[in-house]
Structures are given as structure tokens and as C-alpha cells.
Structure 1
Amino acid sequence: MKAMLLNSYGADSVFEAAEVPKPELKPGHVLIKISASSVNTVDTMIRNMGGELPLSPPAPAILGMDVAGAVEAIGEGITTFSVGDEVYGCVGGLADLQGTLAEYVVADARLIARKAKNLSMREAAALPLVAITAYEGLMRAGIGAGQKVLVHGGSGGVGHVALQLAKYFGADVYSTGGGEKQLALIERLGATPINYKTEKVEDYVGKHTGGAGFELVFDSVGGANLSNSFEAAALNGQIATTVAMCELDLNPAHFKGLSLHVVFMLIPMLHDHQRETHGEILRELTKIAESGNLTPVLDENQYSLDQAGEAHARLESGKAMGKVVIDH
């Protein structure tokens, strides 16, 4: 099969087209003919950092985590899928799991679900990593109807899904963005936009919550921005973040009695730990999408498999609006 190989890691690394053996089917797995995949920040981190990241596969590697496609063959013990099923999931591209920048991938059946009928393959491929992350974070933080929820980075990959899911669960949603296009997208998706470049945390907390703070903060920016989340949260509030690799003063969180939920959605893939939860979440996301309450936003630029490097560059440029998707 055709695949895009990364023979070495680093800022100057390039994807090279190669013919590699088609992956062999295993018990509990399905063979997927890939229609589309998408690029996530973690993919670019692996390409740039290689061995510095403990989750990077050894080179030469086939990267790519998200996939949408059709089941071409089913392994021993599989009763939940049939040949021809259109599926999606986050299935490889790290550790010893082959990635999705190829024509085919063998995926653990616990990591996939049938895609929503009203989404294209491109749209379905955009969802798995970011949508599982958003869903897990909101659930762990106890999302509920009537809550005031703040999403940091609501025009980003994870953020634009978290915003829609929070709305679906009945919350009153607010979201930060840093430019006219970002703020317009946030508003279009049904949240109240907040320009973090011109509005201080204290000011928008006062304006939107009467100074009480947000009951739930979903911080897809994380790092140093977590201090803003602590400031924006209500007493005994809940904070979910996807980026906690930092040193931070927890005193503000202590005196507010905040709960911090760190979401690292790759754990089931990396450690073969409760992988079935990803399939369960994806099945819920399919229902939400089919109800019309979840629509992924795709970047306007389109890329073929041969243009994997350009797709990575697009995401790294910071100019992409929505998910960068690769057509296979």
C-alpha cells in the first residue's frame, strides 16, 4: 500500500511517499480503507520532537491518528462491525500503533464507531481526537444544564467541539478568541464571544456572571493560561484542561476550592487501558452529530495524501480555521 513515511524526526523532517506492506489483520481488529485523516497538534509535536516525546513511534514511522473510512475486513472475535461499515476513530500514529497517513490501517475495534450519516468522511475524520478530548473533559468536570461555562480557545480544534457539546448539554456558553474571524466563528457556533486581547478576566467575569465566576471552565489553551482559568472560575468550580505540562502557583485554586481535571486522551491507546471508552464516546458523538448538534469546522484548504507535509505546515502556521483534513 502507499504510505507517507517519516524517516527521521526534527524541524527539517519531510514525509516521503513509499510502498509498504499492507498491515495484517489481527483478532479484535478491523482493516479500514482510509478515505480521510486529519492533523492534530500532537502529530506535529511528534514529527518535530521525535524521541524527546515518550509516545513517538520509532522512525521510519507512519504518523496520523484520526481516521474515517470503510471496513474492508474484520478480525477474529468481531461482532460489532461488518464489511462496508463507514467508521471513524483515533487509532494510531504513536508508540507501536501504525498511523493513518496511508491507504489502509488495522485498528483496534474498541477505538472506533460508525460515523454519523449526516457527516462526510472529511468531517468525520476531523472529529475523533478533539471530540473525545472535549467530551471527556466536560464529563469529568460534571457538565450540566443551566451552568455558566467558559471555553478558552473556542475557535480551535478541541475548543470548537467543547463549545458545541456544552451547548448540547444545556449550558450557557461563553468563549474566548483573539481575532474577528475567531470571534465570529464562536458566535456562529452559539456561544457568547469574549476577546481575550481586549477584555480582562475580571471584566468579563463581572459582565457575564455578576462577579460570581463560571461554574465550569474548559481550558484548551492551558499552560500559563490556567491562571486565567483559576481567576475566571466560581467558588468550588470545575476546570478541565488539555495542557497541564507546566509549573503553576496553585494558591488561587486552593482558596477557591477548585477541582482540576487533566485530560490526556491518548492514555487508552498508549497503555491499552479501557480502550472501549473511546468507542463508547464516539457512539455518543455520532448520535449528537446526527441530531444536528455537532458540526466540525474544516479549514478551507484541502490536501491530498502526498501533501501531508503541507497539511502539517498549515496547522503549524496558526492560520488554519478549523481542522486540517487530508483526503486519501
Structure 2
Amino acid sequence: MTPSRPPVDTTMRAVLLEEFGSPLVLGAIRTPVPGPGQVLVRIAASGVNPLDTKISAGKAAHARTRPPAVLGLDLAGVVEETGADVTGLAPGDEVFGLTGGVGDLQGSLAEYAAVDARLLARKPDALTMRQTAALPLVFITAWEGLVDRAGVREGQKVLVHGGAGGIGHVAVQLARARGAEVFATGSPRSLQTIAGLGATPIDRTTTPVDAYVAEHTGGEGFDVVFDTVGGETLDASFTAVRTYTGHVVSALGWGTHSLAPLSFRGAGYSGVFTLLPMLTGRGREHHGAILREAAALAEAGALRPLVDPRRFTLSTAAEAHGVVERGEGRGKVVVDVAG
């Protein structure tokens, strides 16, 4: 006979944003109950993204978050309960997903979260909970850009701007797994990391765009350019892409940019806004499907997230946010929620 699971407490610890710009505080709130199509996840780890810190500071209106709120976009954990109409998941299943922290969705800096089961995938056995919690936002963004928008395939030359960053280091691995030859820009201190991921490193501080386009593509341009930096880097992407058949994708297409260099090449452009399914409710099944692809790559040894070695808990989550905000992370910063 299978022993019954212990009952879930009616209250739980959670890190609260009470007002934009105010310090995060640890408090107690009511434990959510899963509704139809939802599962209750006991959270083991929560990934911290730059977007989390922007939301906290009130600088991310596009996330539609209203205090008081529990932040945290990424989670890895264990299913505790299932609501009505949930199939394919059961109590005890280890899962991960990009599930909350925007709109009216509770985030992952809490002991539990009731989340839409469509946003989840089973955790890969090859990764720890911490490694898995580092993946959802960055992998989904990389997949939507490289696969859904640009259709990266074998034989192409792909340039990733910010190849050692959160999205970038996953994008490098994804493009290589799909058979592309990958090049990546970065600062001098990141070049060794980029090379270790299997991409050809390009020092963005010393090498002009025309120079690396000439060296690595014979002046033809890259088949796909994935911008994870924005600003002037997106402008540089428009001059680095291949004529006619090239495609530029950006995860940070903010601001005003001249499209003339792109138009003169007859190339294409796409933007990625990864939060849409959470904010609108549309396309959530696709996010779950993307994460199943991530799990398969991890099990095959083709995907390993870089995780900052420092350990944070719910009690020190504000310190984790500080590390990310100051750009001091050596890989993805992760908060341990449960032992």
C-alpha cells in the first residue's frame, strides 16, 4: 500500500514585494489550492533573472505585475496535488517550468505555487533541481528565437551576441545541438566560457563587426544572428546578417533602431516576447512542449546550464536579487527553496 503524503500546511513562507522599489521581505501567506487544470508544486528551487530585478524596481511595465506580489519566474519542484482535468502529471512527479511572477500569477519565491499544468514539463534526471530551475525562461526564449522564428538548422552559421549570458549560453548549446556552426560575442573575461560551450569566441571590445563578418563568413554575413543584448548590439546585428536569406532575432528589441541596414540586405527580423503565454493564456501548451525538448537535450548531454555556485534561500533572496542586479553572477543565480 502506498503511504499517503502528509497534508500541505494552510500557510506558507513566501518572499513578498510590497511596493515597487522596496526591499523584498519574507512573510507568510495562504497556501494556494490548485484549480481546474492546475497542479500544486512544492518548490525546490527558483531561478533569478534580470527581469525579476526590473520588476522589483518598477521598471518592467510589460510584465504587468502589481504589488503586493510574489516574484520569481522559474521553478523546479515536486507535484503535491492535482486539480480537476489534469492528465499526465501526478503527485510525486518532479517538474519544472516558467510559471509565474508576472501579471496576476504567483511567482516561485515561495514554498508552493498553484500553476497551469500546461506550462510544466518533467524534470530531466540528468540535472539537479538547481540546474533545472535555471533553465525555463532562458531556454524558452532561445528556442522561440532560434527554432520557432529563425528555423536554425544544420550547416548554418549562427552568431549569438552575449554568448556567455543567461540566454546566450543556452542559445549557443541549442544552435550547436541543431547542427549549426556557432560564433558568439562577449567581453574578454567571457571568451573562455564561450569557447568551452563549443562556439568560436569573438571579443566585442576589440573586433569591429565588419572584421568578424569578413573573417568568419568571407563577408557574406551570418545565416542567423541572435541578439540577447539589445541597444547598439541589435544595430550591429543588422549589418552582420547574410544578404537575402539571413534572419536577425532579438530578445531585447527595445528602443528606436534604423532598419535601413537590414532592408539593404533583404534580410528578416523577428522579436521574442517570452511572457505572452503567461500574460494572455494563449500558447501555454507550446511552452510545456519546449521544456520537454530542453529535458531531452539535457538527458542527451547536449544542454547544461551554468549556475552560480553561491547558495541563497528564501531568507536571503534579496541578496540573490542584488547579485543579479549588479551583474555579479557567475552563471544563473538560483534560490534554494526546499532542501
1:56 Cα shift?
A: 3.4
Is 2:296 the partner of 1:287? yes
- Take 1:216 and 1:207, find their aligned partners in 2: how far apart are those partners? 16
- Residue identity over aligned pairs, in percent, reads 49
Q: SS state of the match for residue 41, structure 2?
A: strand
How many residue pairs match? The answer is 324
Match of 2:88 in 1: 80
Residue segments in structure 1 that go unaligned for 5+ positions in a row:
none
- Take 1:127 and 1:200, find their aligned partners in 2: how far apart are those partners? 32
- Take 1:203 and 1:25, find their aligned partners in 2: how far apart are those partners? 55
1:1-328 matches, within 5 Å, as 1-10=12-21, 13-49=22-58, 53-139=61-147, 140-180=149-189, 182-236=190-244, 237-328=246-337
Counterpart amino acid of residue 53 in structure 2:
T
Counterpart amino acid of residue 95 in structure 2:
V
- Take 1:77 and 1:71, find their aligned partners in 2: how far apart are those partners? 15
- Take 1:58 and 1:230, find their aligned partners in 2: how far apart are those partners? 36
User: How high is the TM-score relative to the length of structure 2?
Assistant: 0.94
**283 and 194 in structure 1: CA distance in 2 versus 1, 3 angstrom threshold:** same
**159 and 147 in structure 1: CA distance in 2 versus 1, 3 angstrom threshold:** same
Match of 2:5 in 1: none
- Take 1:131 and 1:120, find their aligned partners in 2: how far apart are those partners? 16
Checking the alignment, whether the CA contact within 8 Å between 1:63 and 1:94 is kept in structure 2 is yes
- Take 1:103 and 1:114, find their aligned partners in 2: how far apart are those partners? 19
Deviations 1:157-177 (A, max 9, x none): 000000000000000000001
1:54 Cα shift?
A: 4.1
Counterpart amino acid of residue 292 in structure 1:
G
- Take 1:309 and 1:56, find their aligned partners in 2: how far apart are those partners? 21
Runs of at least 4 residues off by over 3 Å: none
- Take 1:4 and 1:82, find their aligned partners in 2: how far apart are those partners? 27
- Take 1:295 and 1:98, find their aligned partners in 2: how far apart are those partners? 27
User: How high is the TM-score relative to the length of structure 1?
Assistant: 0.97
Q: SS state of the match for residue 70, structure 2?
A: coil
Checking the alignment, whether the CA contact within 8 Å between 2:248 and 2:268 is kept in structure 1 is yes
Checking the alignment, whether the CA contact within 8 Å between 1:155 and 1:321 is kept in structure 2 is no
Deviations 1:39-74 (A, max 9, x none): 111111110116x61423221110001000000001
- Take 1:316 and 1:98, find their aligned partners in 2: how far apart are those partners? 21
- Take 1:187 and 1:61, find their aligned partners in 2: how far apart are those partners? 40
- Take 1:56 and 1:304, find their aligned partners in 2: how far apart are those partners? 26
Q: SS state of the match for residue 270, structure 2?
A: strand
Checking the alignment, whether the CA contact within 8 Å between 1:299 and 1:322 is kept in structure 2 is yes
